[in-house]
Amino acid sequence: MRIRFAALILFALAAPVSRAVAQERSVILIGTLVDSVSRRPVAKADVYLPGEGEPRTGTDADGRFRLKAVPAEEVIVLMRRIGYAPRAIRLNLSGREKKPVELGTMALNGIVVGLDTITIETRMVQRNPRLAEFYRRKQMGMGTYLTRHDIFQRNPLRSTDLVRTIPGLTVGCQQLGNCVPASFRKTAAGEVTCPMRVLIDGVPSAMELDLIPPAWIAGVEIYKGIAFTPLELQMRGTVGEGNAGCGTLVIWLGADDY
C-alpha cells in the first residue's frame, strides 16, 4: 500500500513537470488567411495539426489566427474552409521554442467549378507528370477513381476517410500501428478484412496514409482485387503489410503545396 501511494505521489508531481516541459518546447503560430483573388480575410477557417488531440484553432473576422502549443519540431499545418481548397504547409520549428512565429499572410484558393475538365487535368499533370497514368487508366474504367473534384466534394479530414467512402472497403487500424486500407473477403470462418497493397505516385509504399494531408492528393485509384488491377500495376511489387490479392490503392500527389 505504501509503495502504491508513493507511486501515485510521484506521478502527480511528474505530470505538471512534463506539461511544463512540453510548454517550454512549444511554439505559437500567428498568421492571416485571405482569399487569393479578392484578398479579403477568410473568417471561420480551421487551422490545425493533423492527428487526434493535436493543436487546433480558427480564424477571426479579420482572418487572423493564433495556433498555440505547436511542437518545436517539423510539423504540417493544415488550413481548411468550406468553399476553398484545403492548404497544407510544412514548417521546421526546431530551435524556435517559446517564440511566437509569424507566418504572415497566406492565401486560400476558392474552389472553381467552372473550369474545363481538360484544363484541370493539364494543371494536375504539370505538377506531377506521372498523373498522366491516372487519367489514362481512368478512361479505361477498370477500377474506382477519385479526381481532385471528387476529393473536394467528400471534404475528408484525413486521407483514410477517402477509403471509408468506397463501398466494400474499410480501414484497419492496429494498436500503436498504421491504419491500413482493406477490402472484405469471405472465408470459412466468416467475413474478414484483407489489407490492400498501397502505391504512392505509382511506387509501392508502406507509408502511413494519414501522414499525407488530403490537400496534397490529386487523384486516387482503387482496384478491389487482383483480377481488376491493370497488369502494369501488378508488376510493381509490394512492400509493407499489403497484399495484391486483396486489392490495390494508388495515391497520386500534386494538388497543393508539397
The reply to whether 94 and 122 lie within a common domain is: no
User: Rounded to the nearest 10 degrees, how much is the dihedral formed by the CA atoms of 113, 139, 153, 116?
Assistant: 0
Q: Which three cell numbers stand for residue 94?
A: 526546431
91, 108, 125 — which closes off a domain?
A: 108
Same domain assignment for residues 184 and 215: yes
Same domain (yes/no): 98, 153 = no
166 plus 52 within the same structural domain: no
pLDDT tens string 80-113: 888 888 888 889 998 888 789 999 999 998 875 5
3-state DSSP call for residue 44?
coil
Q: How many domains does the chain have?
A: 2
- Residue 2 lies inside a defined structural domain of this protein: no
Could you read off the pLDDT of 107-139 as tens digits, one per residue?
998 875 555 566 667 777 777 788 889 989 998
State the pLDDT confidence band at 5, using cuts at 50, 70 and 90: very low
Number of residues in the chain: 258
Q: Which residues contact 220 (CB under 8 A, 6 or more apart)?
A: 145, 146, 151, 162, 249, 250, 251, 252
Question: Does 96 lie in the same domain as 35?
Answer: yes
How far apart CA 221 and CA 249 sit, in angstroms, is: 6
**Domain coverage including residue 62:** 20-108
Write down the pTM of the prediction. Answer: 0.61
In-domain check, residue 153: yes
CATH number of the structural domain spanning residue 127? 2.170.130.10
Task: State whether 57 and 129 are in the same domain.
Answer: no
**Residue 129, strand partner residues:** none
Contacts of 188 (CB under 8 A, 6+ apart): none
State the pLDDT confidence band at 256, using cuts at 50, 70 and 90. low
Q: Residue 190: what pLDDT?
A: 80
Residue 7 lies in a domain: no
Looking at the structure, tell me whether residues 104 and 124 fall in a common domain: no
- Domain membership of residue 4 (yes or no) is no
